[in-house]
Amino acid sequence: MNTILHFVKKIGIIVTVILLPIISFSQTTMFQEYMGGPGEDYAYDLHKTSDGGYLFGALTTSLPGPWVRSWVVRTDQYGDTLWTSAFSDTTGGGKCDQQYINDIAPVSDGGAFCGGGKSVCGDTNEGGNIARIDNHGNVKWVKFFPVDCDPYPVIQCNDGNFMAGGYITLVGGYLSPKNGFLTKIDSATGDTIWSKYYGHSAGAGVEWFYHILQSADGGYLAAGYTTSFGAGGQDIYLVKTDANGNLQWSKTYGTTKNEVAFGHCLQATKDGGYILTGPINASSKKGVFLLKIDVNGNIQWSKVYDGNGSHGVRQTNDGGYVISGQSLTGSNILLIRTDGAGSVVWSEYYGSNGGAGNVVELANDGGYLVGGQADIGPFGKKDLYMIKTDSTGNSGCNQTKAGVTDSNIVFTVTNPPTIVGRASSTTSYPHSFARGGSISVACQVLGINENENSIANVKVYPNPATYYATFLFADERPRLITVYDITGRVVNMFESIDKQYQFSCNNLSVGMYFVKITSGNNTQVVKFIKG
């Protein structure tokens, strides 16, 4: 395991304060933060974790070596790094070797399941990969499909196993016709339980799944696009299966132009139906669509908005929706908030260069977290970018009103003759593993009550710490020092009267810890990271 590599240092923190579960907070946290280095670094997916933090699926080219690596980043609720994990094929043949994460799913034990692309120099197949990460970021196993395919969506199923989907080419290389596929994966080994493809039987068409959900009846719903069926061009493609992957129904939605259910585009809604989003290039308007359907795929309403495509959607607590994507002109990250009927409530642009909001998540405090990329760091290349807003879209800096408008759109619906067949199984391959990356701050406003009667500043070094963390105090006095993990559990407690105390963290797991220093009626909280 390699030593943690710090790509860039924090620049310009407005306010930085630390929260323990025992300290109350008064308002929403907002920030814009980025992570990256001399190469290009993207966040393609993110999910909220059970402790309120975030899990990012990404790629990085900033670690030593010329190839693209899959990259997993785990943060706390303020965007501070807990751990990172980067892995790739061991071939290392050059810049054309690449491996990346399209989608990541939190796993019930605190780890992650991720899927994405994998290619090796000179190979005409885009052989997709899947990987299992434990709750400390270590790779448990990796697998790939030995045919041309690109796993995009992944989920953990109700039975604890995994599901991956995307496109697959059964004959020929990556320029050949493609079908959508679903593969059920054993969570312990990564081996295939069943694998099926869905789409056309012959011809040069393409079906590609970008998102999957497990439905209330135990089956699966896959969303993406097709060029084989529908009204013309690219149409939204939806496939509903039972728990074993057997087709129950399929539908297309579209116009004579192009519509794609893209990225993290599908979510179940509180009324038992579904919401879909993606880019649209219809005759009436180019931009972002939002499509509401019932449990059987029947359209309830459909809207189109100004924008250059969308990548993610979530239903909000009040029954409305929030959509992430990219601005119609320029390259700003776009966030659109609608009511329950799809009418715009507010819209915001964030950043200024090379920005795309690839996914949006609901935060525990009523705000939103957007993940993507932007040209923001000191190297002039794309960095993983995260934006945390309050419930009205305010993030603290680098944003303007978008002024997005909405209008109705009519989609043609068809019931295509979807063919189902046997797809590919997974196989193992050797991989390399590294760690790297730390968060830099563009702006940060943490709405937490500070201790009014705190002790003079405490310094901690090194931070992150591998073996020992040293605490430096302003004076000598009796102190009670309590160390908590990120869940608020006490992992150590000791007393000291010295100005300097060296704490052994050999037995601690990798991650973030909080230290509460109490002297009389005075209290201060600091943090350190075990690397």
Which mean pLDDT values do the consecutive 10-residue runs of the chain (531 residues) have?
A: 34 31 50 88 92 91 80 88 84 69 93 88 71 92 88 96 93 74 96 96 87 97 96 96 98 94 96 96 79 98 92 96 90 95 97 86 94 85 92 92 94 96 87 75 55 53 81 83 76 84 84 80 77 74
Tokens representing 348?
A: 């915001």
Q: Which range of residues forms the domain containing residue 512?
A: 451-530
CA distance 157 to 155: 6
Question: Is 505 part of a structural domain of the chain?
Answer: yes
Q: What is the largest CA-CA distance in the chain?
A: 80
pLDDT at position 454, please?
39
Question: Is 477 part of a structural domain of the chain?
Answer: yes
Question: Is 161 part of a structural domain of the chain?
Answer: no
Question: Is 176 part of a structural domain of the chain?
Answer: no
H or E stretch including 153? strand 148-156
Buried b (16+ CB within 10 A) or exposed e, 91-112: beeeeebbbbbbbbbbbeeebb
pLDDT at position 174, please?
60
CA distance 123 to 86: 22
Pairing of strands 220-226, 235-241: antiparallel
Task: Give me the number of domains the chain comprises.
Answer: 1
pLDDT at position 342, please?
98
Q: Domain with 495 in it: what CATH number? A: 2.60.40.3080
Question: Is 508 part of a structural domain of the chain?
Answer: yes
pLDDT at position 486, please?
65
The phi and psi torsions of 411 (rounded to 5 degrees) equal: -105, 145
Question: Is 476 part of a structural domain of the chain?
Answer: yes
Question: Is 521 part of a structural domain of the chain?
Answer: yes
pLDDT at position 284, please?
59
pLDDT at position 466, please?
83
CA distance 461 to 469: 6
3-state secondary structure 53-116: CEEEEEEECCCCCCCEEEEEEEECCCCCEEEEEEEEECCCCCCCCEECCCEEEECCCCCEEEEE
Whether the CB-CB separation of 526 and 512 falls below 8 Å is answered with: no
pLDDT at position 25, please?
34
Question: Is 462 part of a structural domain of the chain?
Answer: yes
